[in-house]
Amino acid sequence: MLNSQINQTHSLSNLLPLQNPFVAGDATTHSSSSAYSPAILRHPTATKKSNATRSRSTSAGKIKAITIPFLTKTTVKGVITIQPAISSAIAGVGIGGVADGVSDLLGRSFLLELVSNDLDSKGKQKTVKAYARYEALDFDINVYTYKCDFDVPEDFGEIGAILVENEYSKKMFFKKIVLNNNITFTCESWVASKYDNPDKRIFFSDKSYLPSETPEGLKSLREKDMESLRGNGQGERKSSDRIYDYDVYDDLGAPDMSLSLARPVLGGNDHPYPRRCRTGRPMSTKDPLSETRTLLPFYVPSDEDFSEIKEVNFGARALYSVLHAVVPTLDAIITDKDKGFPLFRTIDMLYDQGVNVPAPDNGLKTVLPRLVKGAVDTVDAVIQFETPATIDRDTFSWFRDEEFCRQMLAGLNPYTIQLVTEWPLTSKLDPQVYGPQESGITKEIVEQEIKGFMTLEQALAEKKLFMLDYNDLLLPYVNKTRELNGTTLYGSRTLMFLTPTGTLRPLAIELTRPPSDDKPQWKHVYTPAWDATGAWLWKMAKAQVLSHDSAYHQLVSHWLRTHCVMEPYIIATNRHLSQMHPIRRLLLPHLRYTMQINALARLALINAGGIIESTFSPGKYSMQICSDAYDQLWRFDQESLPADLISRGLAVEDPNSPHGLKLTIEDYPYANDGLLLWDAIKQWATSYVNHYYPKANLIESDVELTQWWDEIRTVGHGDKKDEPWWPQLKTQEDLIGIVSTIMWVGSGHHSAVNFGQYDFAGYFPNRPTMARTKMPNEDPTEEEWQSFIKRPEDALLKCFPSQIQATQVMSVLDVLSSHSPDEEYIGGYIEPAWAAEPAIKAAFEEFRGSLEKLEGIIDSRNVDPKLHNRSGAGLVPYQLLKPFSGPGVTGRGVPNSISI
């Protein structure tokens, strides 16, 4: 008996049914701790008590005599581990007297049924049943333990599956079931109460099988399990459901709350977009194309909800706390929503002194210890921001041109810079609508800036010119955005030159406003200047470009290219790849936790009036721009790191170079580190795929695999189903490329754009998310121009986000940049199914070794004085792709999946 003084209340509702589970028929069908299928009878010499017990078993009324009267049996012992709620585990709370309550259930906590790989002589499944009994709470590993004994006939054959019925009134999280004959069922899944879902849960052993290799006794279960996950596309989903289905993004707007919050549906011909998980909520009464919203987290299939049992969802809980407690608190105390920062010193005070706020509700300081500091008195607390690494090392780094360019290679958004291959620079937009297509950045401007180095023609030929090009993506939204309050927008191009030292030097920034009803196109080119007015205009032009880059980073490089495009992969994997499919088991670590954080994003980040719309320049048009980027720019075949670099002109194929690529910019920290990580992932995928598919014909004959890939292309990314660039799936190399890309996007790509957010953007002048005012020289009044001339610093501060916008973004970025205490880093943990196969285990150990070497390589690169883009006075070392990290905001660490 556990110590009776331990708090006995926390698990009562989880461990005990609210009603006797053996009433209304159960008493006559499940009256013993062991039950057997019709084909299994106890030895005739068994005790009368045992025979009587068997006569009342589940199949009592159906048992028929068999011709083998002396069938011997072996006792197989099973141990089930159940994960308690995280709050209970953290508090060290036991169940105490609840064990007495469990004993009242006569050991009937879970009904388990072993299933043989073989069919019996009549072609039917062979099964053996037993009830599990509660054993103990293991404080060391924070799991509840249950045990059961199965009497298994000697001719039962190999055990391949287990069926579970949860007799409790609450869902329970099964970690694993281990039999003493060396068979393990790794569950990691919620099992609903039989009162919520009467269907038995199916779990398969850790041994992987291709569909064609499935043992006869498991074939029907394999298909039945996947059918249960697909659903029928009808009805509103409940939290206990495990249904994976597709829908368009029709739940970002809230027209029932206000017509100003209506938003177009993303997904379809008008606004192409990946699909999300279907929730089935009722449609809006004011907009029949929009789904209604809820104040609670949106539905995700129950196995995607880890919030109750995993600290890895600390980030999701912390983000929820920021969005629903800190952000409203800041909103309440900053009454003037348009008020900016009057001085740069005022910005510094956010880190030195913080903001006094009313004391938050209980628990918030525990969830957000970096953000919510100790109470000033009994009434107030302090929201105080940590000094970001970039500013901590160099207070003025954000002001410098070289850092402006360096961060395009070693900063938060290294995905956009591209090689200039054609001249002159021109737009592809309709000149009748948007004005002249040719850029204002002329040959003369370029050669004036690179005088003494080379001509424009030489710079193009030698691959020395690079740019950020946000002109055509943003220009269609400039006039619409300018109609919104408190923001502005331009189309922009930023041109840079690769110097002999391997660093980038800015040459010119072009800002464009298209024609409107009463004004012609406005276009201006800014260059680094040596006079006071020109120098301040250049600084303000950089702020405009950084606001564009911030929006593109968050909407495209981050949300679209990682979170959003991964959701169809997750849905298709659960609908078409069985638990026992080796490719599902390869991908699963890279798919965990993502749907839950995506649902939270739809709830409060990318929704109408959410953080993105409130604090980024495009405002209400943010997600439409995201849709345009998907339509115009996203291609699966260019999402692998090598293909992405080649598509932007940052690399060319070269079999004589490391990784088979020659980089256009040799000192490109993101690419240099990323290619080592990419190679390790691809080698691991190669070993894994070739083990299970030694011949190419096994790929095309794998029905589950072909259906999975077909549904990803034609449904999950259905708006691009007819694109010719989709990879075929016919050979091992095809499959290796596909799975490597998915694994990379969920791990390396996401880490590169996520975990540096606070370090690079926590001091918002370095990466302002919004430009609130137009350039001083764009059609100014005399008063506006004189105001700029007298106090140019004021003009820059007015352009930056307001106080409420800045503090809201900083609060969110702090959480998004944090690693949870039990983060699951790439290569850090071997999945049980991999460990069960010696060849796969050896390949994984090789993978882990490659990642450990990568840690040391990155460290050595960051102290190499020849690498000016990562080593130098005041520079933050580039370590976003170092695989491992401690908890918190560390600026490094590559988790397996998108968990925040």
Burial of 91 (0-12, 13-18, 19+ CB in 10 A): exposed
Alpha carbons 649 and 655: distance in angstroms, whole number: 17
Residue carrying the six token digits 């589970």: 21
Q: Is the dihedral of CA 686, 692, 696, 700 positive or negative?
A: negative
∠ CA 749-751-756, rounded to 5°: 125
Query: Does residue 511 contact residue 491 with C-beta atoms inside 8 Å?
Result: yes
Closest of 865, 173, 274 to residue 594, by C-alpha: 274
Distances in Å between the Cα of 171 and the Cα atoms of 112, 400, 492, 699, 832 are 16, 56, 53, 37, 24
Query: Does residue 586 contact residue 685 with C-beta atoms inside 8 Å?
Result: yes
Q: Are strands 491-498 and 504-513 parallel, antiparallel or unpaired?
A: antiparallel
Which tokens go with 806?
A: 């800045």
State the CB neighbour count (10 A cutoff) for residue 525.
18
Which tokens go with 159?
A: 């055990």
Alpha carbons 417 and 611: distance in angstroms, whole number: 26
Alpha carbons 410 and 879: distance in angstroms, whole number: 9
Distances in Å between the Cα of 573 and the Cα atoms of 279, 318, 580 are 18, 28, 12
Beta bridge partners of 176: 81, 186
State the CB neighbour count (10 A cutoff) for residue 161.
24
Alpha carbons 493 and 283: distance in angstroms, whole number: 42
Distances in Å between the Cα of 752 and the Cα atoms of 283, 394, 737, 879 are 38, 22, 20, 9
Distances in Å between the Cα of 42 and the Cα atoms of 116, 457, 618, 694 are 18, 90, 73, 45
Q: Are strands 159-166 and 201-204 parallel, antiparallel or unpaired?
A: antiparallel
Which tokens go with 82?
A: 């159940």
Return the DSSP state at 333: H
Helix, coil or strand: residue 82: strand
H helices within 286-353, ranges in order? 314-321, 327-333, 344-352
Report which residue type is found at 275: R
Alpha carbons 880 and 894: distance in angstroms, whole number: 8
Q: Which residues in 105-132 are b (16+ Cβ under 10 Å) and which e?
A: bebbbbbbbbbbbbbbeeeebbbbbbbb
Using only the alpha carbons of the chain, give its radius of gyration.
30
Instruction: Give me the half-sphere count of Cα atoms (radius 13 Å) on the Cβ side of residue 9.
Output: 0
Which tokens go with 892?
A: 């490094």
Query: Does residue 134 contact residue 102 with C-beta atoms inside 8 Å?
Result: yes
State the CB neighbour count (10 A cutoff) for residue 263.
25
Report which residue type is found at 619: G
Distances in Å between the Cα of 114 and the Cα atoms of 40, 152, 691 are 13, 9, 29
Which tokens go with 176?
A: 């694993």
Query: Does residue 292 contact residue 282 with C-beta atoms inside 8 Å?
Result: yes
**Which are the catalytic amino acids?**
558, 563, 750, 754, 900
Alpha carbons 160 and 86: distance in angstroms, whole number: 31
